[in-house]
Amino acid sequence: MHRFLLLGSLWLLAAPPAWSIFQRPTGSPAPPSLQYLLEPLHTTVHTQRGATATLPCVLRALPRNYRVKWSKVEPANYRESIIIITNGLYHKNYGPLSPRVRLRHSHRYDASLTITDVALEDEGRYRCQLVNGLEDESISLTLHLEGVVFPYQPSNGRYKFNYHEAKRACEQQDSRLATYQQLYKAWTEGLDWCNAGWILDGSVHYPIINSREPCGGRLLLPGIRTYGARDKQKDRFDAFCFTSALLGSQVHFIRGHLNFKEAGQACRNHGAAIAKVGQLYSAWKFSQLDRCDGGWLADGSVRYPITTPRERCGGLPDPGVRSFGFPSKELRTYGTYCFVGK
Nearest to 215 by CA among 21, 39, 8, 33: 8
Q: Tell if the pTM clears 0.95, that is, is over it.
A: no
List the beta bridge partners of residue 114.
54, 102
* Superfamily of domain 37-145, CATH level 4: Immunoglobulins (2.60.40.10)
pLDDT tens digits in sequence order for the chain, 342 residues long: 333 333 333 333 333 333 222 234 444 444 567 889 999 999 999 999 999 999 999 999 998 889 999 999 886 666 889 999 999 889 999 999 999 999 999 999 999 999 999 999 999 999 999 998 777 899 999 999 999 999 999 999 999 999 999 999 999 999 999 999 999 999 999 999 999 999 999 999 999 999 988 888 888 889 999 999 999 999 999 999 999 998 889 999 999 999 999 999 999 999 999 999 999 999 999 999 999 999 999 999 999 999 999 988 988 899 999 999 999 999 999 999 999 986
Among 3.30.160.250, 3.40.50.1000, 3.10.100.10, 3.40.50.970, what is the CATH number of 250-340?
3.10.100.10
Say if residues 126 and 119 touch (Cβ distance below 8 Å).
Answer: no
Q: Are 204 and 185 in contact (CB under 8 A)?
A: no
Evaluate whether 148-244 and 250-340 have a shared fold. Answer: yes
Question: What pLDDT is stored for residue 135 in this prediction?
Answer: 72
* Residue-level pLDDT at 77: 66
Beta carbons within 10 angstroms of residue 232's beta carbon: 14
pLDDT at 9: 33
**pLDDT at 193 (0 to 100):** 95
As a 3-state breakdown, the chain gives helix, strand, coil percent values, each rounded to 5, of 15, 35, 45
| β-sheet bridge partners, residue 229 | 203
Alpha helices (H) in 2-125, listed in sequence order:
18-22
Q: Taking the domains of the chain in order of start, what are their residue ranges?
A: 37-145, 148-244, 250-340
Write the class of the CATH domain 148-244: alpha beta
What's the confidence (pLDDT) of residue 28? Answer: 45
pLDDT reported for residue 225: 93
Residue 286's contacts (CB-CB under 8 Å, 6 or more residues apart) are: 146, 148, 245
Backbone angles phi, psi at 229, to 5 degrees: -70, 140
For residue 189, CA distances in Å to 72, 94, 149 come to: 27, 37, 10
In DSSP notation, 301-325 reads -EEEEESS--TTTT--SS-EEEE--
Cβ-Cβ contacts under 8 Å for 197 (sequence gap 6 or more): 151, 152, 166, 204, 205, 206, 237, 238, 239, 240
Task: Report the distance separating Cα 4 and Cα 14, nearest Å.
Answer: 6
Using DSSP's 3-state secondary structure scheme, residue 190 falls into coil
Q: What is the pLDDT of residue 32?
A: 61
Distances from the Cα of 15 to the Cαs of 149, 178, 187, 194, 276, in angstroms?
Answer: 18, 17, 11, 20, 32
pLDDT for the residue 76: 65
Q: How far apart are CA 282 and CA 120, in angstroms?
A: 12
What pLDDT does 333 receive?
96
